[in-house]
Structure 1
Amino acid sequence: MERPTPIGAPPSGEFENLLRTVEELATPDGYKAELIRGKIVVSPWSELRCMKPMKLLRRQLGAHAPDGHAPDTAPFLFSFAHSERAFGPDLHVSDEAAFDADGRHADGEALSLVAELTSVSTKDADWQDKLEAYGRQVPVYLILDMQSEEIAAFWDPSPQGYRSHTTVTFGKPLHVPAPFDFDLDTSGFAAESAEPAE
């Protein structure tokens, strides 16, 4: 399974029933289940080459996160009832108090930032469906386009989606807007060069 795979959903099609099914789904090791466009989609977790950028990103975000918020890459599901979606972001910064509750998913309201690292199989969802849902609620969304070696920042959510965005090539600093408000060092995000050392 290299590509995201939609699976059967309850005939009722109701968001809460679908969300419950996602929560109870026993996915194979290395895979996650999300609720995208009314379908349960199972896709692999990030590729190995994403570990270094995620680690660098997590470290920098942690130093600038809002009080009570912490970055993590653990496979937690966040629901967006207004969009009838539920995503397991590659990296998220969220209110730690949201994890004091029972249950298998947290409300998307707990998020202050989400970052997705694209793969060939997930790129469309990251740039379209997730951008649309996050853009109504999450203060900052970062897309690390691993194929183009660029990072995009989206901010200022509204009912119609994000009002502002910018994109830089890996290696250039990216300003991460409030509530973080710092310049992100992206110099370690690009894939290692295959050229031999001199």
Structure 2
Amino acid sequence: MTPDPYTQKLLLDWFVDLETPEGFRAELVEGDLVLTPLPDGHHEHCISRIARQLHLRSEIEIQFSGNKGLKLNSAAGWAQDHVVPDGTVVARAPRLFRGAPPWMPCEGVTMVLEVTFTRPEIDRVTKRRCYARGGIPHYLLVDREACSTTLFSEPEHDDYRRLSTAAFGKPLALPEPFAFDLDTADLL
């Protein structure tokens, strides 16, 4: 059941002012409060390896931000999702992060990165819908349970029309503006 606009506004106001418990991060995803503990070392290793490749191998200069809050269009009946990707990548907008508020709109974001952790279905399904609705061109998912990396592209409504998956250890082709094969061997 979708709450009325007044209740939605109260929920959003409460969320924005929320003091997250120490050791957690908070997101508002399709009307649900999601509290996630701080990640483990392997999770951070995956992010670090991908960020390094993006900086060194992309054909153009990119910006990478870990844990940047994004405001996205929400599912029918909800005002906005407030999602924190493990990585937010910007290409061709060199100053997008400069002066951005803690929860910035997703316009200009080229790709988001998620590495599965305690609740992988949120990354596999729920956030995938959120990022597609937000029109983010590329969503890179490192699925540690499945030992694979998937690139979703061509967002349309609540999903992406294209996906390409590579098992850990196999290269995953990243399209323009990155234009290189992501080495996933170090994600094992």
* TM-score (normalised: structure 1): 0.79
Q: Report if the CA contact (8 A) 1:175-1:181 is conserved.
A: yes
Match of 1:79 in 2: 71
Deviations 1:34-88 (A, max 9, x none): 0112122211132221122111100111231754x40122x32101034431111
Give the corresponding residue for 1:166: 164
**Could you tell me how far 1:29 is from its partner in structure 2?**
3.0
Q: Residues 129-173 of structure 1, C-alpha deviation per residue, up to 9 Å, x if partnerless?
A: 111111231111111111121111101112242110011110100
Aligned equivalents of 1:79, 1:66: Cα separation in 2: 26
Aligned twin of 1:93: 89
| Corresponding residue SS for 1:114 | strand
Among 124, 127, 135, the residue aligned to 1:127: 124
Query: One-letter code of the match for 1:106?
Result: M
How far apart, CA to CA, are the structure 1 residues paired with 2:181 and 2:72? Answer: 29
Cα deviation, residue 12, structure 1? 3.2
**Counterpart residue identity of residue 119, structure 2:** T
Where structure 1 has 5 or more consecutive residues not aligned to the other structure, the ranges are: 1-8, 191-198
Structure 2 SS opposite 1:134: helix
Gaps of 5+ in 2: none
Between the two proteins, the alignment pairs up a number of residues equal to 178
- RMSD value, Cα: 2.4
1:21 and 1:65 map into 2 onto residues whose CA distance is: 42
CA contact (8 A) 2:130 2:158 kept: no
